[in-house]
Amino acid sequence: MDHQPSSSIAKLRDGVTLRTLQWGDPVDSPGIPIVLIHGLASNARLWDGAARELTNRGHAVIAVDLRGHGLSDKQDSGYEMKNIAQDVVDVITELANRNAEWSMPLVIGQSWGGNIVVELAAHFGEHVRGVVAVDGGTIELGHTFLDWDECKTMMSPPALSGMKYDRLRSYIRAAHLDWSEEAIDGQMHNMEHLPDGTIRPWLTLERHIMVLRGLWEHFPSTLWGAIQVPVLFTPATKNNDDHTAIKRAQLSHALNSIERCKVEWFESADHDLHAQYPQRFATVVDDAITTGFFS
């Protein structure tokens, strides 16, 4: 089946509105409701392939543009990790108020979104049946960069505003030869396509730095012991470098700290593994659901 998403708006407690995309109807879906959370400077459309595959497996799916991103409101505040997690709770609450079938969804987050869903599970676990952290949920920039100014310098995004749309797309295409055109399009939705053929990021540099600061201050490993809902980590790796070794050690700690925890490695995978391997990713998540891990 080929599902096209419908777009709507979710209103948060402070009046901010977030754009959401929905695939499937939970009333007509035999599976469970799923909410998808993107990474830093990303957007809901990068989930298109994975969302469709999950819907084909019987699950109704919502993907969210977080504040400052995509087609959601562009506020100058509220980018601390706990506040973003509260935004997700607000979306879940509004969805459930519209339709009780959206209550207690599985929430999946990638990268920064993986840290968000760990925060969600630790502090707002009563709102979810479980979470999936996609190459995230273990990011602790405060250990990598002891000094915030160093982190800001090393992790600031490249200046892309003013670049031609077609030029950027060709760069992304060349860097991801095994990605589908749909996945490349999803990446391009990180940018506003201007009438003169140039682009600018939906997430401004100033807001990007605010999000980065919140991520630098976040230490998910301190939250793992408080989590009562099931957590699935799907980390990506391409080789056994130092970064992967650190990630393996973190996930070993997570397995020993979280009451119900599972790790499914994606070998030879990019950071955006959900876009690179949407069918494989959906299968891993669906298998965890159908075997009762999130029950």
Does the residue 295 lie in any domain?
no
- Which of 82, 274, 73 has the alpha carbon at shortest distance from 180? 274
Task: Name the domain count of the chain.
Answer: 1
Does the residue 204 lie in any domain?
no
Does the residue 102 lie in any domain?
yes
Does the residue 188 lie in any domain?
no
Q: What is the pLDDT of residue 2?
A: 54
Q: What is the pLDDT of residue 145?
A: 96
Confidence (pTM): 0.97
Domain that holds residue 276: 6-146+218-290
111 Ramachandran zone, left/alpha/beta (phi>0; psi -120 to 50): left
CATH code of residue 73? 3.40.50.1820
Query: Residue 104 has which token pair?
Result: 């207690």
Does the residue 191 lie in any domain?
no
Q: What is the pLDDT of residue 242?
A: 87
Residues of the chain with pLDDT under 50: none
DSSP 237-294: ESS--HHHHHHHHHHHHHHHHSSSEEE--EET--TTHHHHSHHHHHHHHHHHHHTTTT
Does the residue 113 lie in any domain?
yes
Q: What is the pLDDT of residue 85?
A: 98
